[in-house]
Amino acid sequence: MQNHQHVSSALNRLIIGAEQPFDLHALLQSTSRTLCNLDFEHQHEVQRVERGRTDPALKRQITDNLK
Protein backbone atom coordinates (compact mmCIF):
# COMPACT_ATOMS: atom_id res chain seq x y z
CA MET A 1 0.00 0.00 0.00
CA GLN A 2 2.84 2.38 0.76
CA ASN A 3 4.24 1.95 -2.77
CA HIS A 4 0.82 2.77 -4.24
CA GLN A 5 0.67 5.95 -2.17
CA HIS A 6 4.17 6.91 -3.30
CA VAL A 7 3.24 6.43 -6.97
CA SER A 8 -0.02 8.31 -6.47
CA SER A 9 1.82 11.16 -4.75
CA ALA A 10 4.43 11.33 -7.52
CA LEU A 11 1.70 11.29 -10.15
CA ASN A 12 -0.16 14.08 -8.38
CA ARG A 13 3.01 16.20 -8.26
CA LEU A 14 3.58 15.55 -11.94
CA ILE A 15 0.01 16.49 -12.85
CA ILE A 16 -0.53 19.37 -10.46
CA GLY A 17 3.02 20.69 -10.33
CA ALA A 18 3.46 23.80 -8.23
CA GLU A 19 -0.23 24.36 -7.57
CA GLN A 20 -0.83 25.20 -11.22
CA PRO A 21 -3.98 23.95 -12.95
CA PHE A 22 -3.56 20.87 -15.12
CA ASP A 23 -4.70 21.31 -18.73
CA LEU A 24 -5.40 17.83 -20.07
CA HIS A 25 -6.61 19.13 -23.43
CA ALA A 26 -3.36 21.02 -24.06
CA LEU A 27 -1.34 17.98 -23.02
CA LEU A 28 -3.31 15.76 -25.42
CA GLN A 29 -2.82 18.26 -28.26
CA SER A 30 0.90 18.44 -27.59
CA THR A 31 1.18 14.65 -27.44
CA SER A 32 -0.79 14.32 -30.66
CA ARG A 33 1.49 16.80 -32.44
CA THR A 34 4.56 14.96 -31.21
CA LEU A 35 3.20 11.61 -32.39
CA CYS A 36 2.31 13.07 -35.80
CA ASN A 37 5.81 14.49 -36.14
CA LEU A 38 7.36 11.15 -35.20
CA ASP A 39 5.11 9.35 -37.69
CA PHE A 40 6.07 11.79 -40.45
CA GLU A 41 9.79 11.47 -39.71
CA HIS A 42 9.54 7.67 -39.61
CA GLN A 43 7.75 7.55 -42.97
CA HIS A 44 10.30 9.95 -44.43
CA GLU A 45 13.19 7.73 -43.29
CA VAL A 46 11.54 4.59 -44.71
CA GLN A 47 11.03 6.32 -48.07
CA ARG A 48 14.60 7.61 -48.05
CA VAL A 49 15.92 4.08 -47.57
CA GLU A 50 13.58 2.66 -50.23
CA ARG A 51 14.70 5.27 -52.79
CA GLY A 52 18.39 4.95 -52.00
CA ARG A 53 21.04 3.02 -53.87
CA THR A 54 21.58 0.55 -51.06
CA ASP A 55 21.69 -3.19 -51.75
CA PRO A 56 18.07 -4.53 -51.90
CA ALA A 57 18.69 -7.13 -49.17
CA LEU A 58 20.08 -4.44 -46.88
CA LYS A 59 17.16 -2.15 -47.73
CA ARG A 60 14.72 -4.86 -46.62
CA GLN A 61 16.61 -5.34 -43.38
CA ILE A 62 16.70 -1.60 -42.66
CA THR A 63 13.02 -1.07 -43.46
CA ASP A 64 12.08 -4.11 -41.36
CA ASN A 65 14.03 -2.59 -38.47
CA LEU A 66 12.28 0.75 -38.95
CA LYS A 67 8.85 -0.91 -38.82
Per-residue pLDDT of 14-67, as tens digits, reads 776 656 666 788 888 999 999 999 999 999 999 999 999 989 999 999 888 887
Asked, for residue 55, whether it belongs to a domain, the answer is yes
The helix/strand/coil state of 54 is coil
* pLDDT given at position 2: 47
Classify residue 17: in a domain, yes or no.
no
Q: Which structural domain, as residue segments, surrounds residue 67?
A: 24-67
1 within some domain: no
Position 18 in a domain: no
**Residue 7: inside a domain:** no
- Answer yes or no: pTM beyond 0.75: no
Question: What is residue 38's predicted lDDT score, i.e. its pLDDT?
Answer: 95
Query: Which phi-psi region, left, alpha or beta, contains residue 17 (left: φ > 0; alpha: ψ -120 to 50)?
Result: left
Residue 19 domain-assigned (yes or no): no
pLDDT number for residue 53 = 92
Tell whether 53 is covered by a domain.
yes
CA–CA separation, 23 vs 35, rounded Å? 19
